[in-house]
Amino acid sequence: MKENITKDNSQIISKIKSILNELRPFLINDGGDIEFIKFEDGIVYIKLFGACADCQMLDLTLKDGIETALKDEIPEVESVINVDTSMNYDDIF
C-alpha cells in the first residue's frame, strides 16, 4: 500500500471516473461497457459488461489499457480489478 497519499479520495475518484469515461467509447465500440465500483487501498474496482466481460482480450484490456491509463494519470492507483459475477461481493464491500 502506498504511503502519504496527498490527494483527497473524492478527488482521486473523480479523476478515475473521468478517465474511465474517456475510455468508455472504445469499449462501447467493441460491444462492451465499464462501470466504476470503488477505489480502496490503491485498487480501482471496475466491472466490465457486454462483449468485454467474456472477451479473450480481457486481461490485455484491463492491464495494458485501463490500468495503464489510470496509473499514468493517477499515481495513487496501484492496480485495477475487474469485479465479475464469480467474485464474492462481500469480499469487495
Is the whole-model pTM more than 0.95?
A: no
- How distant is the alpha carbon of residue 54 from its chain centre? 16
pLDDT tens readout for residues 36-81: 999 999 999 999 998 888 888 888 888 889 999 999 999 999 999 9
Q: Where are the domains of the chain?
A: 9-83
Q: In what order do the strands lie in the sheet with 43-50?
A: 32-40, 43-50, 79-82
pLDDT digits (tens, 9 = 90+) for 78-92: 999 999 855 555 555
Topology of the domain covering 9-83: GMP Synthetase; Chain A, domain 3 (3.30.300)
What local confidence, expressed as pLDDT, does residue 12 receive?
95
16-34 per-position pLDDT tens digit: 999 999 999 999 998 999 9
